[in-house]
Chain A
């Protein structure tokens, strides 16, 4: 996983509540068994005028010029500004992979759906929860200027616009450390293998039926 320490990038304002993971990455792309290559399909239904599939050559797609991702001024944006309950719906991690592959490094919203938030964390993307007032203000600033550039510092947990500090944010310390170091959760958990084994042994004594082999 790519580490996240600090990042400076252009903001893409996505002004919609309850953006669900079906919208972020439509179901036909869940057929891919790869972990990479989802960037061209991010917001596919909005982004293209025709319907695509895993096997469609992206160069043949008809682009929707009105959709924000296709506007020249937002090319290269790497911070998504969003509204409430962002990433709700399906647990598909493909939604986080699509952001990662598109080049989004951080998301800012008043609230995120739980599973999506975790999925971002596990893929080197930083979801930042800020108050509605601050998010409103950022949207207004985006309307005023086409290229709002923010700097995010995960060491200090701060968001800056030039020299101006926009906000501080909080996140679980363990998650923050993982992101800072780009670490694999599994290795960290396996360091506690003994504790897990001990727990499991006691459980098996008490509820042995949970350990029965499943016959197929």
Chain B
């Protein structure tokens, strides 16, 4: 009797474990394939804007909604401020994130403004902690191809949190830029905010 219960229990447990494993596997698959499809839509939208006939100002205006829809700007902003985020007051945080949003859009449209006749291919994805890395190769006429990896946060609705071009991460580079600026200016977050204001004024 005892053996029977034990055996049945083990059978049930095994079945439950198998079912769980299967669900986990299928959800992991759904997660990465979701990131792939998400990046495909995102890239298609970007490429359509970049290759379009519109002047630079109109392209920038068209990029805004796509960035807002698919990039977790607040998370990227938080990452870029690094350890100083904890020291920032709520008012400073709000102002910084708003500024960062404009700066990011300016930088992206500044970068993409030079591109013409862009095409891309997705080269597969891999998990990286809670995130998914989606690889792509971007080709431009008369230029060597660029390897770009999109880092997608797939914990909720998929959102881009970083872009790694030829091994250099956008958010890591920006974080070291800001950290260095802050250390040169007495760790004063207001100085950083003022610098971002100046940068926006000079580029837009």
The answer on A and B forming one complex is no
Which B residues have a C-beta under 8 Å from some C-beta of A?
none
